[in-house]
Structure 1
């Protein structure tokens, strides 16, 4: 689609929003799947001078209701018919505009409202001003290895969340590169999207999608594929090795947050695990925690007052800065550091140990009744042997007290692993219910020789 045609559609949608009551300084919530309608409505809302709140279409009706109540939007834009298809990456939808009783004009100067991923707790309302968004786009423009005019970006990350929205869609529009949403996010769907054009192509997504692409037994030759760039969590070494070997392309990493966007990058995989802070981003370490210098708090409504203090946002991520190279290494969440019998245990170390074991495809480790690990494995024999393998690799106080076998790891709508113990246990129980009687989906390592 040409920019001229996109502008025409945006103007038409702006007229519909204004006819429904939207004015400068108003507020509109958008709950549509990845689609032209979603992009057009978002741009139309901004063109009308309104505050736009983006909601993931995969939220349940109950979750949407709670979110709308918190946001107090005046209008909501939704599909006329409910959409389905967990692995679909692009939809053709017709939308309706509904005025909301009790909705109010924007109470803050933020142009964009988003909800945090909620991987470790309740979602927060995060606001981005025009200046914040333009600042992030400027940071992208200074990255030598990010797509430019004449290139393509296949966006797998959700366009209602920060990576897909700013790094994919808005950066593509600003830079003049072609933005492609894969019709399906299956292996074939993604590979077909890459192969559909001859221009140098970058894939933008999350580590689990990179892992999915490495599952292809005979990956096609794709000379146009320059690299894949992922964000949201760190990339396992085995995934990085398989991807770069199978596709002869780079697998890069970005570290960022919904609150600020991109923070640090290694787009070529040449400095891993170190990341270079992007130009214009102030980063420092205090008590092992990564702090970011911001002009104002990004939170809207209730928020932890200790999270943003004296112009510095506490990320709750552990990290270190190399004084010689200036590279930032992210060590995981600070809340992954727990005390067991007075001894400190880094749960991310336990996760890394588990995922390094043959046959273990994914792992999430949390502190529940002791250390609990939730894993996906290639077959049952792998799960049964985990206790003995861990005994040779981890000190007794670091080993999970309980191992749970899951058919798949629960994830947030942004693709991050859920770390809520209750949700993980419910997933383990669901896995267990699908097994034959007497074949449990958990292993008590206290009685498994660990």
Structure 2
């Protein structure tokens, strides 16, 4: 594939993702979408994007829920030689506006109508395509993904078309992934790396049908598995394991091949409950937005350890932090050697690498990122938002059986008023589960805020 400013020629979309028999079904939403239909929809979307001002080397911001419209406009952006900026549809207008001001796409695609209820996984969406700016993309990446703290430079992550293509091909060499002719019951959002590459892009490349359930419930997931006779892999995060572990099948499910989970570590009790109920492997996958899949254990043989994915090297630093091979800096506008240096991504995860087997065990986070329902949240972003609100003198945000914020007011303030202000600025999954107002936040003898959850709980009581 020839190189261009976005890492590969846009023909890579045809070569890697949209080729194959025109009559092959690639998506069931629930109506089947074959490759000929998908190619036609992508061509139509390219025309709309061009009419709104997209030019090769420009960027398109996609603010769409998981939907056929999302898939079509994502592929159309890449096929046009454009950069796709992926904005989670659950972000507030405030968060989206800040991201758009920073990244200045040429075109914004957002819903003008969304059907279905809040428990839908895939939505019936009519997309609106609007011009935003006349600037070219700020970087030569094919995709921009925003981790927590998305408007700050340290949280903007870029990957080229070559990066995405390499990861898709990496999946084809992992033992235990869904095979051609099989199905992926897709649960995670395609805005984020597991659903995007491990679900959508790999499925299109490997001729694996993508089947999102009708609703986000255990019964709906099992119904999607049982709907057809072909083998099915459920792809999700630990939250989805809990759903299935608490759901009783109405009959045998010979189609269920395995469940593969990404995101945070799965508690041993939850893993046992799932495997006892369904009798199939519960696979584990570890990855990051910056590099995609890092390691897997799709047969559940080494839990909680994983084996590095083909072509990926994992190193344990002298401080016990995991470093992952990453040839180029994935962060946009950031030159921070504590995050990436000399071809190594510093994961901020604590872990160990077995010198004999090469298996990697993840022990937890070094920094402030936590996972809420499979969504990564940076507690520093929540804290920064809190301290920017009127009536707040200072704040500390910790993980204490959920996101918990301890706030020292500067004048009259109630938790209800605080929660209302946060709802305007942060997506629901980022907002504190618990808000505690303290006359004085505890500090060290040198005046620094105490960040121990135990000490903060004691102060709050």
TM-score in terms of structure 2 length: 0.74
Q: Which residue of 1 aligns with 2:286?
A: 255
Counterpart check, 1:229 vs 2:260 = yes
Could you tell me how far 1:58 is from its partner in structure 2? 1.1
CA 1:176 to 1:8, structure 2 compared with 1: closer, same or farther past 3 Å?
Answer: same
The superposition leaves residues 144-189 of structure 1 with CA deviations (integer Å, 9 ceiling, x where unpaired) of: 2101111000110101110000000000001001111122111122
Unaligned runs of 5+ in 1: 338-346, 349-364, 377-409, 430-441
SS in structure 1 opposite 2:177? Answer: coil
Map 1:41-440 onto structure 2 (within 5 A).
41-81=73-113, 85-100=117-132, 102-118=133-149, 124-218=155-249, 220-286=251-317, 287-302=319-334, 304-335=336-367, 373-374=400-401, 423-426=432-435
Q: CA deviation at 1:446?
A: 5.8
CA-based RMSD of the aligned residues comes to 3.3
Residues matched between the structures, number: 370
**Deviation >4 Å, runs of 4+:** 365-372, 415-418, 442-447
Unaligned runs of 5+ in 2: 1-32, 372-378, 384-394, 404-421, 438-453
The secondary structure found in structure 1 opposite 2:272 is helix
Structure 1 CA distance, aligned partners of 2:297 and 2:123? Answer: 32
Q: Is the 8 A contact 1:91 1:183 kept in 2?
A: no
| Distance change >3 Å, CA 323–CA 193, structure 1 → 2 | same
Change (3 A) 1:209 1:103: farther
SS in structure 2 at match of 1:275: strand
Q: Secondary structure at the match of 1:24?
A: coil
- Cα distance in 1 for partners of 2:291, 2:118 equals 28
DSSP 3-state at the match of 2:305: coil
Offset of residue 302 of structure 1 = 4.1
Distance 1:181 1:141 in 2: 21
Q: Which moved more, 1:9-18 or 1:82-91?
A: 82-91
Inter-partner Cα distance in structure 2 for 1:373 and 1:192: 36
In structure 1, the residue matched to 2:389 is none
Q: Is the 8 A contact 2:141 2:160 kept in 1?
A: yes
